[in-house]
Structure 1
Amino acid sequence: MSITPLAAVPPAHRATAPDFRGRLGRDARSGHYAVPHRYRLHLSTACPDGLRLAVGHALLGLDDSCPVTFLPALPDGHDGGHAELRSLYEASAHHYRGPALAPVLSDDWSGRIVSTHARDILRDLDRFPRTCKNPLFPPGLESVIESVERMCAEGIEEAAQRAGRAGAGPAERAAALDVLLDTLGRLERRLVGEEYLVDGRLTAADVELWVSLVQLDLVHRCHLDASAVQRIAEHRALWAYARRLAGHPAFGRPLDLDGIARRHQGRCRGLEAAGAAVQILDWAAHTSGSPDASRR
Structure 2
Amino acid sequence: MSVTPLATVPSAQPAPAFRGRIGRDARSGHYAVPRRYRLHLTPSCPNGLRIAVVHSLLGLDDVCPITFLDAVPDGPDGGHSALRPLYEASAHRYAGPAAGPVLSDDWSGRIVSTHAPDVTRDLAQHFGSGRPALYPCGAESEIEAVERLCRQGIEEAAQQAGAAVSEPAAQDAALGRLLETLGSLERWLVGREYLIRDQITAADVELWVTLVQLDTVHRHHLDADAVHRIAGHPALWAYARRLTAHPAFGSQLDLAGIARRHHARCRGLEAAGAAVQILDWAAHATRTS
Question: What is the TM-score normalised by the length of structure 2?
Answer: 0.91
Once the 2 structures are TM-superposed, how far is the Cα of residue 170 of structure 1 from its aligned partner? 1.1
Match of 1:222 in 2: 220
Alignment of 1:103-182 (within 5 A): 103-130=101-128, 132-182=130-180
1:51 corresponds to:
49
Give the secondary structure class of the aligned counterpart of 2:20. Answer: coil
Deviation string 1:246-282 (CA, Å, 9 cap, x unpaired) is 1111100110000000100000010111111121000
Following the alignment from structure 2 to structure 1, what is the Cα–Cα distance between the partners of residues 253 and 73? 18
Query: Would you say the 8 A contact 2:22–2:126 is kept in 1?
Result: no
- Which residue in the other structure is 1:73 paired with? 71
Q: Which residue of 2 aligns with 1:199?
A: 197
Q: What is the total number of aligned residue pairs between the two structures?
A: 275
| CA offsets 1:29-48 (integer angstroms, 9 cap, x no match) | 76212221110010010000
The answer (yes or no) to whether the contact 2:124–2:134 under 8 Å persists in 1 is yes
SS in 1 for 2:95: coil
Alpha-carbon distance in structure 1 between the residues aligned to 2:25 and 2:17: 24
Aligned to 1:5: none
Of residues 239, 244, 249, the one that matches 1:246 is: 244
- Matching residue of 2:4: none
The 1:283–1:259 alpha-carbon spacing in structure 2 relative to 1, beyond 3 Å, is same
Establish whether residue 40 from structure 1 lines up as the match of residue 13 from structure 2.
no
- Indicate the residue corresponding to 1:269 in structure 2: 267
1:130 to partner: Cα distance: 4.4
CA drift of 1:26 comes to: 5.8
Task: Indicate how the Cα distance of structure 1 residues 237 and 36 shifts in structure 2: closer, same or farther if over 3 A, else same.
Answer: same
Distance 2:175 2:204 in 1: 23
- What SS does the corresponding residue of 2:193 show, helix, strand or coil? coil
Q: Which residue of 1 aligns with 2:280?
A: 282
1:84 equivalent in structure 2 = 82
SS at match of 2:72: coil
Aligned-residue Cα RMSD (Å) equals 1.7
Following TM superposition, by how much is the alpha carbon of 1:127 offset from its aligned partner in structure 2, in angstroms? 2.0
Task: Note the residue ranges of structure 2 that are not aligned, 5 or more in a row.
Answer: 1-12
Task: Please say if residues 218 and 260 of structure 1, whose CA atoms lie closer than 8 Å, have aligned partners that are also in contact.
Answer: yes
Query: Aligned letter for 2:106?
Result: D
Name which of structure 1's ranges 75-84 and 178-187 shifts more when overlaid on structure 2.
Answer: 75-84
Q: Residues of 1 paired with 2:224 and 2:21: CA distance?
A: 44
- The TM-score with structure 1 as length reference comes to 0.89
**Pair 37,27 (structure 1): closer, same or farther in 2 beyond 3 Å:** farther
Residue in structure 1 matched with residue 3 of structure 2 by the alignment: none
Residue segments in structure 1 that go unaligned for 5+ positions in a row: 1-14, 290-296
Q: Give the C-alpha shift of residue 288 in structure 1.
A: 3.3
What are the Cα deviations for residues 83-140 of structure 1, in whole angstroms up to 9, with x where unaligned? 1111100000101122210000000110000000001111111123346432211110
